[in-house]
Amino acid sequence: MIIIRLDRVMADRKISLNELAEKVGMTNVNLSNLKTGKMKGIRFETLDAICKVLDCQPGDLMEYKS
């Protein structure tokens, strides 16, 4: 199971959902769905944009639990 840790990274960077969505070019709804784990997948292009804005690695945003 992949757990999304986007909310933790956003809190560490003190960035709101609205601000991140605007900077990444996503809708608030889609970013919220990603944050809550309701999305089934993410494009590398989107992941790249999120990592650039949050100055993080993909592994900071996701965690694997067996």
Q: What is the pLDDT of residues 1-58, one digit of tens each?
A: 899 999 999 999 999 999 999 999 999 999 999 999 898 899 999 999 999 999 999 9
pTM value is 0.91
* Residue 3 near residue 55 (C-beta atoms within 8 A): no
Q: What is the pLDDT of residues 34-49, one digit of tens each?
A: 999 898 899 999 999 9
For 2-64, give the CATH class: mainly alpha
